[in-house]
Structure 1
Amino acid sequence: MPTNIPISRSIAIDATPAKVFAFVADPRNLPLWAPGAVKSVEPSGDAWIFHNGDDKSRVVVATSETHGTVDLLFGEGPGVYTRVLPNGTGAEYQFTLFFPEGSPQDALDAQSAVVDEELATVRTHCENQ
């Protein structure tokens, strides 16, 4: 039985799946589209160090261009799972993260709004570059 609450969102993007994948698969782009979560990144062996103010996290970025997946894996906790899909002449970018069971609804709503803003930023960047 699942014990986490998913937040899943997707957005249509008027850019090729390859272009969207290239943008979201590069961890160095995270500060551009998810600045509230990641202020800067640096490589660390087979992983990345994500900095957010005084906090830092070691994150494995697992990608598959063939499957369009870009997963951010944070040690023991649940990760962030994303996928780029073909959608007509463009792409659909899907994004899922998990909150612990029992998380307050206002926290879930606030995070959903942040994810919506981040996805809009991905769309703007991919459509205008």
Structure 2
Amino acid sequence: MNGTGEESRHLSTCIDRTADDVYAYAADPANLPPWAHGLGGSITRIGDRWVAESSPMGRVEITFAPRNELGVLDHDVTLPSGETVHNPVRVIACDAGSEVVFTLRCRPGTSDADFERDADMVSADLTRLKELMESD
């Protein structure tokens, strides 16, 4: 892999809630702190962007895809360096429940170990989302 930027990994979890329920919850940026620890413990809205001051990457700005009926939860994260990372995310109906799929892309210059760490963080976030959604 060695950070060529050409590697992607699809990380997913199945949730015993309808796709509409999961999308409605996950599409609200105010709900991110309990489950998306990769974006930090707090988030505030500034115009059409959301800002996470305490993310593991420092202060990041997040711009979300407009709400839609297709389950698209894509979001762009602008890092402190000014680099913007596009994160494709989908909520897909699956039998009586849903599947959330996050496509993690290896950014150029990212080591294999860092890519694995990022994948572990995304997987942990998806697990927290599943636990929150299934506990209601």
**TM-score normalised by the shorter chain: which range applies?**
0.7 to 0.9
Match in the other structure for 1:26: 28
Q: 3-state SS of the aligned residue for 1:124?
A: helix
Cα distance, 1:37 vs structure 2: 2.6
Residues 101 and 5 of structure 1: CA distance in aligned 2, closer, same or farther (over 3 Å): farther
Structure having the larger proportion of residues in strand:
1
- Structure 2 spans left out of the alignment, 5+ residues: none
Match in the other structure for 1:6: 8
Distance in 2, Cα, partners of 1:78 & 1:30: 17
| Offset from partner CA, 1:94-120 (integer Å, 9 cap, x none) | 111322234211111111111111111
Match in the other structure for 1:79: 86
Percent of pairs identical after alignment?
A: 27
Distance in 1, Cα, partners of 2:89 & 2:25: 12
Q: 3-state SS of the aligned residue for 1:8?
A: strand
| Offset from partner CA, 1:35-64 (integer Å, 9 cap, x none) | 243221111111111221693222211133
Q: TM-score w.r.t. structure 1 length?
A: 0.87
Considering only aligned residues, what root-mean-square deviation do their CA atoms show, in Å? Answer: 2.0
Q: TM-score w.r.t. structure 2 length?
A: 0.83
Distance in 1, Cα, partners of 2:66 & 2:97: 20
Residues 3 and 107 of structure 1: CA distance in aligned 2, closer, same or farther (over 3 Å): closer
Pick one of 36, 39, 62 that aligns with 1:37.
39
Residues 73 and 36 of structure 1: CA distance in aligned 2, closer, same or farther (over 3 Å): closer
Cα distance, 1:125 vs structure 2: 0.7
Match in the other structure for 1:125: 132
Pick one of 86, 96, 112 that aligns with 1:89.
96
Q: 3-state SS of the aligned residue for 2:17?
A: coil
Q: 3-state SS of the aligned residue for 2:84?
A: coil
- Structure 1 spans left out of the alignment, 5+ residues: none
**Number of aligned residue pairs:** 128
